[in-house]
Amino acid sequence: MAEPEVIHSWSAPRSLSTSLMYSFAQRDDTEVVDEPLYAAFLKVTGFDRPYRDDVLSKMECNGDKVVKDVIYGSGSKKYRYCKHISKQRLFGLPSELMSKGKHFILIRNPLSILPSFEKVHPPSFLELGLGELVSIYSDLCQTGTPPAVIDADELQRDPETTLRSLCDDLEIPFQASMLKWEAGPIPEDGGWAPWWYKSVHESTGFSSPKTYPRTFPLSHYDLLEQSLPLYNILRRHVKHRSTLMSSPLPPPSLPVPENAKLLAWVGDEILPRDMAKVSVFDSVVQGGDSVWEGLRIYKGKIFKLEEHLDRLFDSAKALAFENVPAREEIKEAIFTTLITNGMFDNTHIRLSLTRGKKVTSGMSPAFNRYGCTLIVLAEWKPPVYDNDGGIVLVTATTRRNSPNNLDSKIHHNNLLNNILAKIASNNANAADAIMLDKDGFVSETNATNIFMVKKGCVLTPHADYCLPGITRTTVMELLVQENFILEERRISLSEFHTADEVWTTGTMGELSPVVKIDGRVIGDGKVGPITKTLQNAYKKLTEESGVPIPTYQEP
């Protein structure tokens, strides 16, 4: 008799692990072992169970012997399937337990586990074992063999697809016999089966998930809060998902791949990208009730930080925010986020301050009793436009908000007015869309301020319907320093169509030359001389000014 190839299944209790063991027991090339480490676990921990004495008397209690003789002992079939509960992986077991064989992890949402858990004994964080399940995943990843992860919900919803995928990961052939079994116990059942396996014994295969869940017992709410994040950590590694609200689309590629592992500030803590979320009760979710700023970092300095914070506080005051964080607190959060990420150049920050979390859903700011929520999202992000060759604009039919409705001088997150215009530019394959005011004069684009040159004179629209951008103000100051003629006035669209030069300004894109608007070539279709002069002057200013990031040292 040879030593079989061992397949290790790791899971929390109540995760369909027994049904999966029954599935593998139907294979003609596999023997199954039900929780071989259970007796050793009971002996070492002293945990009480109704079947404790029976298990201790009939199973090997020495963990070393279990690993050597039961798990990796000789057998008559090609494969040995070992069903393990994660908490039974005791400290001090032989390293061969994890270094040999093929491992996979079976997970299930604690929302589904906890309602039925206390049939035999009360649930606890230790009994649930999700913390140890994450440790098992981490340990296996460190050995260079990350385990496959399957979700019990997927197993119920689409057993064949899930099992085929699992067999592929384990590099074993799928057998159709795995989908069905006869009702009743099997000889390999552990001594605890009468207490736990009633529903499995009544089954003949993986049952379809119930349309609606059980009412969740609020007595387990705290345990759910502790365990659900761990489930979600593992769930991110499930290959195949068919849940109700999951996207049918494959994961998209990121514009800058390095941003896949960024850390963001949310509230009062720094979190990994996929964990950086706000409450469903937050005002930014409830009504777009938030203000924001864009910041850019150049060689260890934050450009125009104080000016951006001035506008952030002005916007928050205009919207009557209360319990706003102090200026120094916000700066500390910004610095901490940048330093933690190691982002000191070529970085853009989306700084948001929401009215905060509400005590109940609704529009009224009277429900906001927790204070504001601060979000610092720093990304590796070069300027987003083609500032060398120039960009193309179209004119949107959507008009820019009037101060009669919503003053654009409030830098708020409710950007639907801009987004509708951006949709128009996307549909036209243009960089952005020009937005007109209610009288048909040019206001700005959906994302930037705009300038034009005619016969040596630089013109820009009044900041009546548009945000008086900080980059806009900076460029206006540079124009004066460079001795150009500058005029703020109402400008018609046809004037932009016939301009000698046009450019846009914004923190995210800096100075972006415009070479075509609505099919009309601007000037000679190339970056103009005044635009180039200002680009150079702006670049020099970003190199010479800005608020230093603490701890930054030039390479």
Q: Which helix (H) or strand (E) holds 350?
A: strand 347-354
Confidence of residue 243 (pLDDT cuts 50, 70, 90): low
CATH number, domain 257-380: 3.30.470.10
Please state the rounded mean pLDDT for residues 282-286. 95
pLDDT tens-digit readout, 101-154: 999 999 999 998 888 776 667 888 988 899 999 999 999 999 999 999 999 999
Q: Which two tokens stand for residue 32?
A: 């199954």
pLDDT tens-digit readout, 18-38: 999 999 999 999 999 999 999
Name which residue leads in pLDDT, 396 or 210: 396
Which amino acid makes up residue 169?
D
CA gap 523, 516 in Å, rounded? 9
For the chain, give the mean pLDDT.
Answer: 94
Please state the rounded mean pLDDT for residues 283-299. 96
Instruction: Give yes or no on whether 5-236 and 257-380 have one common fold.
Output: no
Which amino acid makes up residue 41?
F
Q: Quick check: 107 and 15 in contact, CB under 8 A?
A: yes
CA gap 463, 411 in Å, rounded? 13
pLDDT tens-digit readout, 182-231: 999 999 999 999 999 999 999 999 988 888 888 888 899 999 999 999 99
pLDDT of 248 higher than 50: yes
CA gap 523, 520 in Å, rounded? 9
SS (H, E, C) 450-461: EEEEECCEEEEC
pLDDT tens-digit readout, 419-440: 999 999 999 999 999 999 999 9
| 5-236 homologous superfamily | P-loop containing nucleotide triphosphate hydrolases (3.40.50.300)
Q: Which CATH class is domain 391-543?
A: alpha beta
Q: Which helix (H) or strand (E) holds 334?
A: helix 327-341
pLDDT tens-digit readout, 46-62: 999 999 999 999 999 99
| Phi/psi of residue 250, nearest 5 degrees | -70, 155
Q: What percent of the chain has pLDDT over 90?
A: 89
Return the percent helix, strand and coil in the chain, to nearest 5: 35, 20, 40
Domain boundaries defined on the chain = 5-236, 257-380, 391-543
Q: Quick check: 79 and 7 in contact, CB under 8 A?
A: yes
Dihedral over Cα of 120, 124, 126, 128: its sign:
positive
Residue 85 is predicted with a pLDDT of 96
Strand partners, 412: 291
Alpha helices in 356-457 (DSSP H): 416-427
pLDDT of 245 higher than 50: no
Residue owning tokens 């005619």: 454
Confidence of residue 244 (pLDDT cuts 50, 70, 90): very low
Task: Give the rounded distance of the alpha carbon of 38 from its chain centre.
Answer: 37
Q: Which range has the worst mean pLDDT, 249-253, 437-441, 515-519?
A: 249-253
Alpha helices in 26-77 (DSSP H): 38-45, 52-58, 63-65
Strand partners, 266: 269, 375
Q: Which range has the worst mean pLDDT, 205-219, 258-272, 520-534?
A: 205-219
Dihedral over Cα of 294, 298, 303, 305: its sign:
positive
* Long-range Cβ pairs for the range 357-363 (8 Å, 24+): 357/278, 357/279, 357/281, 357/282, 357/283, 358/281, 358/282, 358/283, 358/286, 359/281, 360/281, 361/281, 361/286, 362/286, 363/286, 363/287
